[in-house]
Amino acid sequence: MNDLTSAIPDGGISVRAVALMDIGLRTAVASLVTASAAPMALSRSSRSGEKAAIDFYATLGAGADVASIFTPPPPDVEVRARRMGRLAWAPRVGHVDSLTFKSPYQVRNPALRRSYAAHPRNAIARAQHWRHDDGPRPTIIVLHGFAGSPYWFNSTFFSLPWFYGHGCDVVLFTLPFHGGRGDVTAPFNGYGLFAEGLGHFAEAMLQSVCDLRVIVDYLNANGVDHVGMTGLSLGGYVTALMAAVEPRLHVAIPNAAVTDLASLMDDWFPAGALLRRGLQQAGISQPEYRAAMGLHSPLRYPPVLARDRLFVIGGLGDRLAPPEQSALLWEHWGRPRIHWYPGGHILHIGRARYLREVGRFLKDTGFSPG
């Protein structure tokens, strides 16, 4: 870690001020995770099941065999496209489709199939597709962070009208248990991701990859030959994981990504304290826990994209996904292009500069003419 720390620039006083703001945000997010996970973590009846789940995912991931862990979806998944009206937050987007399909994902752990299937809304994958009428165009798939799935928010946060204006089509994908994929009774967006233990979280990560590969199939079948992906936070985690699984991606740009969830969540208060107590009560050791979480970690697998197709963006003042998280991925990927912005997890100071860097990157890789 010392070598990685030396690779992270010192952002000065302004970065430290942003970091203080981020600590409050981190506590709020950790409190949501805690609210989701507490009933399961503290339940005596769930302890044996959680231990069995940890053993299952640790064993499944032991060989780090991408082909057997991330099995491709069937080729005949029907994706339905429904034309929508113009978007108030992106009025210059000419053609907007709502995409839905029945997720073909099959839960890997037999012990969890019934409980996972008890969330039927999650079985319908959803996305919003912005496209030019003279397409197909190079297409960016955008992945939101935990609890941050509203399309309008991600449109603004990622400056997606800027990408659209530079000739790219855009797909905003909804991760499992978020938005319209969440239970009607869920108390907040993303609640189901952590509400039923680490096994359900692992299945949701595997399902994310499966459903995203259906989106890539759909785009390719409609003539799109350049598909890229970017994502924030948890969306950056899945983006980096897809770069290890899906060779048809042209570029991958994780932004303020979490990459080592096992160590990161241990440091989050109050979620970390709850996690440690739950693991202890279930008789799960730290090595067992880390092995199970490694099943879906992008740090476990080598990327299938060439190094010049990878671009890491990290925030120097980020305290939800600290800069060390981006540095770990950068090192794991063989030190590809990287950009540090002097901001936090949500407050991306210098966004205009890194948008120019992303535009240059897309042009350099032949993804888009720029």
Distance CA 241, CA 175 (A): 14
Count Cα neighbours of 94 within 13 Å in the Cβ-side half-sphere: 10
Inside any domain, residue 73: no
Q: What is the pLDDT of residues 92-102, one digit of tens each?
A: 998 999 999 99
Inside any domain, residue 75: no
pLDDT at 345: 83
Distance CA 322, CA 22 (A): 10
Q: What is the pLDDT of residues 119-148, one digit of tens each?
A: 999 999 999 999 999 989 999 999 999 989
Inside any domain, residue 163: yes
Inside any domain, residue 130: yes
Provide Rg for the chain, Cα atoms: 20
User: What is the domain extent for residue 339?
Assistant: 2-29+81-259+308-364
Inside any domain, residue 238: yes
Distance CA 216, CA 226 (A): 10
CB neighbours of 45 closer than 8 A, spacing ≥ 6? Answer: none
Distance CA 233, CA 300 (A): 18
Count how many domains the chain has.
1
Q: Is the pLDDT of residue 10 over 70?
A: no
Distance CA 305, CA 289 (A): 29
Q: What is the pLDDT of residues 159-184, one digit of tens each?
A: 999 899 889 999 999 999 999 999 99
Inside any domain, residue 34: no
pLDDT at 1: 46
CATH of the domain at 96: 3.40.50.1820
Cβ neighbours of 368 (radius 10 Å): 21
Inside any domain, residue 275: no
Contact 274, 37 (CB under 8 A): yes
Amino acid identity, position 358: V
Paired tokens of 67 = 């082909």
Inside any domain, residue 52: no
The conformation of residue 10, written as its DSSP 8-state character, comes to P
Q: What is the pTM of this model?
A: 0.93
Nearest to 366 by CA among 135, 132, 138, 134: 138
Q: What is the pLDDT of residues 39-69, one digit of tens each?
A: 555 555 566 788 899 999 999 999 889 999 9
Contact 299, 328 (CB under 8 A): yes
